Chains A and B, each alone.
Chain A
Amino acid sequence: MSDFVVTLNDKKKTVSFSNNSHLSLDNQKYECDLILLNAHTYLLKINERFFEVSVDKTGNGKYSLLIDGHQYETVIRSALQEKVSELLRQKSTAHKKTEVKAPMPGMILKIKKSLNDKIVKGETILILEAMKMENDLRSPCSGVLSEIPVKEGSAVEKGAVLFTIE
């Protein structure tokens, strides 16, 4: 059986299977059972405890889970894939760009910063009006505002890039 690396909450956990119901997680052994309830819900039994898990598969080994009211985004790779992606990541961190996308469709009400402004993490870059509310969109990191492809008054779709911090 094979080894996997699961990434969640910026942590990596290694799972290796002995057989269908026995596995070890970071070298700790567990007896597990997985039971399908309906298209989105499983029961997962780990040793003596049942968990109800809702899952939405988003593709590319990515899963969105709800367990006991907690949301987890997990990514699974085989041990080999994990090594490759680790190498790629090291290369790309040399020049870091952070894109902020629209979390929902809406209208750009006001842009508070200009191109090439120095930005401190948490500063409001623009105000997006959606769901009848004015929502401050803040920068997730410090850097320079290098791109801002939207204008005041323009409508944006969910997922549209609003600004880039470098």
Chain B
Amino acid sequence: MLKKILIANRGEIAVRIIRACRELDIKSVAVYSDADRKSLHTRLADESYNIGEPASSQSYLNKTKIIDLAKKLKVDAIHPGYGFFSENSEFIKLCEDEKITFIGPSSKSVAMMGSKTAGRHLMEKSGVPIVPGTTKPIDSLNEGIKSAEKIGFPVLLKASAGGGGKGMRRISSKSEFEDAFEATKRVALKAFGDDSIYIEKFIENPKHIEVQIIGDMHGNYAHLFERECSVQRRHQKIIEEAPSSFVDETTRAEITSAAVNAAKACGYYNAGTIEFLMDANKDFYFLEMNTRLQVEHPVTELISGIDLVKEQISIASGNKLSFGQDDLKINGHAMESRIYAEDADNNFLPSTGIIYEYKPPTGPGVRVDDGFSAGSEISVYYDPLIAKLVCWSDNRTNAIKRMKRALDEYKIAGITTNISFLKSVYNNNNFINGKFDINFLEKESGALHKFLEKENNKVNLENAAAIFTAMVKENSAVRKGNENANNSKPENKWIDLMYE
């Protein structure tokens, strides 16, 4: 087994991995940029090292700094989390050359799947259904327009090296093509350092269904069922659940075996996710493969009972999968809400600032994976994800009720968050009845907004706010009186009793 792991990431996922290391008696090493001194991962790890300026390129995305540190500290392995180096085959190759175990797949599998066009090509060959589109990157504007017309508008322009929906654009007619072509290339270059893009047919109103797979280095594979991640804004997921209420047993059998085939096709080991679009007829199309741990892995952990991070570490140590496909069954229902620092009223614009008070929910069936505490800063340099709130219950209806309860208890003061917005989704009838697809937020924005307005204009809360403000202003004596009380030590009656 591995003895010391460097976690080349930050925020909630770094904390998640450190927790697994702790439970496995493995030493954890955290790295942090100047902007992350007050983040949670730095203080939970056994050792923490500053790796430079806030900009990712100077710190979390600096290959040399991280590899040099790993060598100097003689760590056995690097866990990349998600994002950053997790799907960077060059970085993985460096680890392989330096004989540092990379907790993830081989550089070869990542290179095969990392380019979305190569991945599509491989899937087509292995009999996994793909969305009609180009299997090669498009080089020129003219070639792009020609392909788009052949596939038929509307189409999607996507970055070959992309993921997580970044740099994706819908084009409904030829006239929009030129602007979108340039913009997508620009975003792709900036976000992924590679401006190659490709075209896909735009599937109307699909659901986003993905399958968690896992494999070891001995050729054993298993799937851990599907997740539904259709609630998205700007093509980024905000609510995920497992299982999907839309997928029946027959479809589940088909989609999970397609996913396992996809993993086999690229000689994959470690945890991975195959993403599909599913239309109203339950026909599904391969979207992309994520060769890493997903943000939303906790919902799968809660319904399967498998700790995916521990399993990743075990696989990277050369062990066989600790379970077989027949050991797994779906237990209950789990939902995840991504808690973002963003303003849902203002086009989901990210918000920044210092969290002055932080209190996550607790109680039965509630799990919070977070990366910050009171005093931490949400800076402009990174993704605005603060935490993931995950709730489990025996069925979907009860999981939703539990999620609503937990969101009510969640307290984050100092920055604008999407907590109220999430509540509006869990109160929406179409969401509750499972009638939603990836355009849910757009279609329901009116209804969601109405709910929020009503909530925010609750008379008893407004009254409380007004009374509070007046009392603080008028009655500063309250503050003084209590501060004095806090300073005087409470008497310990037990001591008196002992000497009686």
Contacts and interface: CB of A to CB of B under 8 A. Distances in A.
B351 A104 contact: yes
A94 interface: no
Given A36-B483, A130-B380, A131-B380, A51 B464 contact: yes
B491 to A, nearest CB: 20
A76 B408 contact: no
Given A44-B468, A134-B187, A20 B383 contact: no
Interface in A12-71: 13, 15, 17, 20, 23, 25, 30, 32, 34-36, 40-42, 44, 46, 49, 51-56, 61, 63, 65-71
A11 B462 contact: yes
- Which one of B187, B343, B407 has the highest number of Cβ atoms from chain A below 10 Å of its Cβ? B187
A61 B462 CA distance: 17
Contacts of A25: 463, 466-467
B425 to A, nearest CB: 14
A67 B473 contact: no
Interface string B358-393: 000000000000000000000011111000000000
Interface string A1-12: 110101011010
Contacts of B384: 131
Interface string B459-488: 011111111111111110111001100100
B466 A74 contact: yes
A34 B462 contact: no
Interface residues of B, number: 55
Contact of B468 (A65, A70, A71): A65
A90 B150 CA distance: 61
Contacts of B475: 20, 34
A42 B458 CA distance: 20
Given A71-B416, A131-B380, A135-B347, A76 B468 contact: no
A53 B468 contact: yes
A108 B458 CA distance: 38
Contacts of A34: 468, 471-472, 475, 478
A163 to B, nearest CB: 16
Contact of B465 (A65, A69, A158): A65
Contact of A44 (B381, B382, B467): B467
Contacts of B472: 34, 42, 55, 63
B414 A56 contact: yes
A35 B468 CA distance: 11
B469 A76 contact: yes
Nearest to A41: B357
A88 interface: no
Contacts of B408: 68-69
Contacts of B478: 34-36
Given A54-B357, A54-B413, A46 B467 contact: yes
Interface string B401-425: 0000001101111101001100100
Contacts of A70: 420, 455-456, 458, 461
Interface of A is mostly: strand
Indicate the size class of the contact surface on chain A: 35 or more
A72 B416 CA distance: 11
Contact of A53 (B346, B419, B463, B464): B464
Contacts of B468: 34, 42, 44, 51, 53, 55, 65, 67, 74
A2 B473 CA distance: 11
Contacts of A20: 475, 477
A105 interface: yes
A132 interface: yes
A136 B472 CA distance: 38
Contact of B411 (A6, A66, A105, A136): A66
Contact of A32 (B455, B461, B471): B471
A80 interface: no
Contacts of A54: 356-357, 411, 413
A51 B265 CA distance: 57
Interface in A77-125: 103-106
Nearest to A122: B347
B457 interface: yes
A52 B343 CA distance: 22
A145 to B, nearest CB: 19
A106 B352 CA distance: 12
B467 A30 contact: yes
Nearest to A105: B380
A83 B383 CA distance: 45
Nearest to A35: B482
Contact of B420 (A69, A105, A138): A69
Contacts of A17: 470, 474
B447 interface: no
Q: What 4 pairs across the A-B complex have the smallest Cβ distances?
A: A54-B413, A15-B470, A36-B482, A6-B466
Given A6-B465, A46-B463, A103-B343, 19 more contacts: A4-B469, A8-B466, A13-B463, A34-B472, A36-B483, A40-B413, A51-B464, A53-B464, A54-B411, A54-B413, A66-B412, A69-B407, A72-B462, A74-B468, A76-B469, A130-B350, A131-B352, A131-B383, A138-B347
21 contacts: A1-B474, A8-B462, A13-B462, A13-B463, A30-B467, A34-B471, A36-B478, A42-B472, A44-B471, A49-B460, A56-B356, A63-B469, A65-B465, A69-B411, A72-B465, A76-B469, A103-B343, A104-B351, A106-B380, A132-B191, A132-B382
